[in-house]
Amino acid sequence: MKEIIGNIWNIPCDAICIPTNGNVDGRGRAIMGAGLARQAADRFPDIKESFGLQMFEQPNLKVCIIHRFTHFDRRCVLLSFQTKSSWKDPSNIGLITESAEELVDAMNWEKFRTILLPHVGCGLGKLNWEEEVKPILSKILDNRFIAVSEK
């Protein structure tokens, strides 16, 4: 896994991972109220409905394509990356590990070359990147994966 500093939306790639909580609201829409998930929902207004439907149809899936779009003149996808079971809870390192393993399998199938992800679980999820998350992801994710930090 590589690491860079920058704005995840301004970096050419094949896929961007969006940390998620696996929850839907009373109308069946994915709960995407903060962080990068909120940014994605603001950029792509229909994403909450389509992602909510996917979660309903495949409730155990931690990683899935939730949106396709053009990014820097190339096809790109947004991927869910589940870090917690409820938006109210802190992120769970076991769930992050499972999501990372599922992500590798999905990317091998899709043959993506460049996959961006933020420091998953470390914002509102309250985990520490250097001490808790990075050591685990470094063992799972290869150099196709780029962890992006804004600072």
- Residues sharing a CB contact under 8 Å with residue 39, sequence separation 6 or more, in sequence order: 9
The structure's pTM equals 0.94
Q: What is the pLDDT along the chain (151 residues), one digit of tens a residue?
A: 999 999 999 999 999 999 999 899 999 999 999 999 999 999 999 999 999 999 999 888 899 999 999 998 889 999 999 999 998 999 999 999 999 999 999 888 888 999 999 999 999 999 999 999 999 999 999 999 999 998 8
Place of tokens 């590589």: 2
- What residues make up the domain containing 13? 2-149
**How many domains are there within the chain?**
1
The CATH number of the domain holding residue 60 is 3.40.220.10
